[in-house]
Structure 1
């Protein structure tokens, strides 16, 4: 077992972290004996070496927590290792971590946003800078570079206006305005801007009014998830609101430019 698994087992059995697991073997055996009815797969487990009994005990704790460690056989393998990792997360956060593979499933696209390719963007949204409308924010924004200036509305493409408002209304309803400010979701970094991509030569999605930036200071262009504020778990619902509408986060998709969200698929 690795160090994380040992700590998970100690937590499950209320064993001091400072004690050696070998010295706590009696606790492991006592726990297994208490739950021997659940160990039908593990015949003669009493004769197994202490290390295998410890793995069996961890497998049992994982199963009791609703996880899937595989067979209760006392052998350390990939399935037991993953279940132990889940158990550690459950113990630490009192909830299961989100399934990481689900992040790579095909995201929703209810508005049929096009691919982020200039030909597709022109076919769907028309020429850059055209068909712009005014959209009112459901809560006051502050300019990210001048927080003394309040922004109540902005320009965007008419095809994304209703979706933008829907997303931000859901954000406000879920977080409340105080939390919106604490999370800096009201720091507006810009929308429509007819320009090339930073670090690129093709037109930015901002040129069609289908992209927005938020809190650029804490989510800088080249920052990855190790530094960007929007990569933290407190922003999960923020991203869920956008992604349910088919918007794409460059941060969550490519791990850079975490400030940016766009109505164009990658």
Structure 2
């Protein structure tokens, strides 16, 4: 889940005046999971820790309000829908603005072996804004993806290195010039859940380290972000409610015990 976690960590500096910024960053986290590949060859449902044969998800995130001892939903700040095929892979994602108009569409294309071949991002005005092409090694593992801008010019390339456990252990992110821009390294527990992410600059200098804890269903319950010198920057925690399949349908995210977002899901199964 790669870039997803670091985008959150860059902006989650927890003060009350920044709470709305944190809401938007946390929302972005879910959608960015669509282009993360740190779980190797699992399908999209498995990457997102979703159980059962899911056809469609509608996910709305709200600004939280506190009334006495209760945390309630405030203004809706963003809305996503995700469509899946019978194999558990994404067909299309739609990101809506807070006024319910379409902001972006993400359309997925697969090869004859069922592996993701392309991801196209289209603006609310139906303009191409991003194209990602995926390449695989002889073992069928994702080897690299290359991003192109709206003019068809290469923007960046990400190369993936795997461990003996079959999971991505390192990502190397290159600029269009070929210069190494960033390096991400991952550590997992015995259940193959991500427990630590480290981000390095192109020169090899450590920038951030993030640790994760999970519940017995594999959902992230805690995320701590540390600076390069080891000092704690932030702590996030998640509280969930679940449906009959064991998928969460409501998530309250807190920072330093203060609510920063409430996310609700409607899940439609095949």
**Fold match (TM-score > 0.5):** no
Q: Looking at secondary structure, tell me which structure has more strand per residue.
A: 2
TM-score computed with the length of structure 1 as normaliser: 0.20
Larger Rg belongs to: 1
TM-score norm. by structure 2 comes to: 0.19
